[in-house]
């Protein structure tokens, strides 16, 4: 960190923002936690616990924000890479895996490109939407394509979106012909899209990690929140939303 002035200014703006935000929610009895979470967790976290403050986005974007001093208490990432990098940098406490997911290919209900299987991506002209390679779902997408021997269809990508919700939106609106998202994102727009499954053998190992942010002023509550998420109650909420149980061994 070479420039303290710039960081100070960012901190000032963030502090001002958090003061405003606190003022707005002054009526709740306990101070809500500020939870930075992967975009794919949007629906499930909001239903699971409505009393906290959330900032949803691509895990890599949230990582950068935390690196720059964002006032988060908890960071829930869609890939271990982002939590581990922050852990190595001493910015979060030891991360734990808390859930899993799988990828699907979604097409608009009208299916303009006429896709029936993933392999049609190779045969037909198609406007394919994926997330950028730094975004967890974007990296998982490339793993799937590589495993299926379909890496060449990346030449049909018309847009590299900044998070999984942007991919979902572009396909749900019918702008894109197809996009790779998590099964849980497809579920959220099930009235607008058709899901094409990806075989189990081609699935990437999707591992969500969560950690307490080291600089959090509310560490006890943050640890408590994570503990509940790992408990039967939290896991049931995740499974109900379509997330998968914890993978047994992580390699």
Partner 1 sequence: MLLFLLLPVVAVFLRVPPGELFSALGSSAALDAIVVTAETNAIAMALLLGFGTPAAYWISTRRGGLRDVVVTLVELPLVLPPAVAGIGLLVVFGRVGLLGETVTALGVDIAFTKVAVILAVAFVASPFYLRTAVAAFEGVDPTLPAAARTLGAGSGGVFLRIMLPLAGGGLGAGAALAFARGIGEFGATIMFAGSLQGVTQTLSLAIYEQFDIDFEVALAISALLIVISAVVLFSVKLMTRWRSESASLTPFAASTRPPS
Cα 240 to Cα 251: distance, rounded to the nearest angstrom: 26
Minimal distance, residue 241 CB to partner 1, in Å: 26
How many degrees, rounded to 5, is the angle at CA 28 between CA 56 and CA 236?
50
Token pair belonging to 247: 């993978």
| HSE-CB of 160 using CA atoms within 13 angstroms | 10
**SS3 state of residue 110:** coil
102 is an interface residue for partner 1 by CB under 8 A: no
Told to check if 178 binds partner 1 by CB under 8 A, we report no
Q: Which of 132, 136, 204, 234 binds partner 1 (CB under 8 A)?
A: 132
Told to check if 251 binds partner 1 by CB under 8 A, we report no
One residue of 18, 97, 160, 223 binding partner 1 per CB under 8 A: 160
Decide: residue 192, CB within 10 A, 0-12 exposed, 13-18 middle, 19+ buried: middle
Residues 6+ apart with CB under 8 A from 3: none
Give the shortest CB-221-to-partner 1 separation in angstroms: 28
Asked if residue 175 binds partner 1 (CB under 8 A), the reply is yes
User: Which of residues 34, 99, 162, 184 is near partner 1 by CB under 8 A?
Assistant: 162
| Residues recorded for the chain | 251
The yes or no reply on residue 134 touching partner 1 (CB under 8 A) is yes
Task: Note whether 6 binds partner 1 by CB under 8 A.
Answer: yes
User: Which of the stretches 17-25, 153-161, 225-233, 235-243 binds partner 1 when contact is defined by CB under 8 A?
Assistant: 153-161
Nearer to partner 1, 151 or 173 (CB): 173
Q: How far is the CB of 157 from partner 1 (least distance, A)?
A: 7
Instruction: Report the distance separating Cα 117 and Cα 27, nearest Å.
Output: 52
Residue 81 is a binding residue for partner 1 (CB under 8 A): no
Nearer to partner 1, 105 or 113 (CB): 113
Distance CA 108, CA 173 (A): 7
Residues 6+ apart with CB under 8 A from 207: 79, 80, 97, 100, 247, 250
Residue 53: phi and psi, rounded to 5, are -95, 130
| Binding residues for partner 1 (CB under 8 A) | 2-3, 5-6, 9, 58, 60-61, 63-64, 108, 110, 112, 127, 129, 132, 134, 157-162, 166, 170, 173-176
């Amino acid at each position: 960190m070479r420039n303290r002035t710039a960081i100070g200014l960012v901190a000032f703006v963030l502090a001002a923002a958090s003061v405003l935000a606190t003022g707005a929610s002054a009526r709740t009895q306990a101070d809500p936690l500020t939870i930075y979470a992967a975009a794919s967790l949007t629906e499930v976290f909001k239903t699971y616990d409505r009393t906290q403050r959330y900032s949803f986005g691509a895990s890599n974007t949230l990582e950068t924000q935390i690196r720059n001093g964002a006032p988060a208490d908890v960071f829930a990432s869609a890939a271990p890479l982002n939590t581990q990098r922050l852990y190595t940098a001493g910015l979060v406490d030891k991360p734990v895996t808390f859930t899993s997911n799988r990828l699907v290919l979604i097409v608009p209900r009208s299916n303009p490109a006429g896709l029936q299987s993933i392999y049609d991506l190779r045969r037909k002209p198609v406007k394919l939407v994926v997330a950028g390679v730094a975004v967890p779902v974007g990296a998982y997408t490339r793993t799937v394509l590589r495993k299926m021997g379909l890496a060449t269809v990346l030449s049909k990508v018309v847009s590299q979106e900044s998070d999984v919700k942007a991919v979902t939106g572009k396909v749900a609106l019918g702008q894109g012909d197809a996009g790779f998202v998590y099964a849980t994102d497809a579920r959220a727009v099930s009235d607008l899209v058709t899901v094409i499954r990806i075989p189990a053998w081609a699935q990437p190992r999707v591992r969500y990690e969560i950690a307490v942010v080291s600089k959090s002023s509310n560490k006890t509550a943050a640890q408590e929140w994570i503990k509940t998420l790992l408990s039967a109650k939290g896991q049931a909420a995740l499974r109900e939303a379509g997330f998968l149980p914890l993978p047994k061994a992580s390699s």
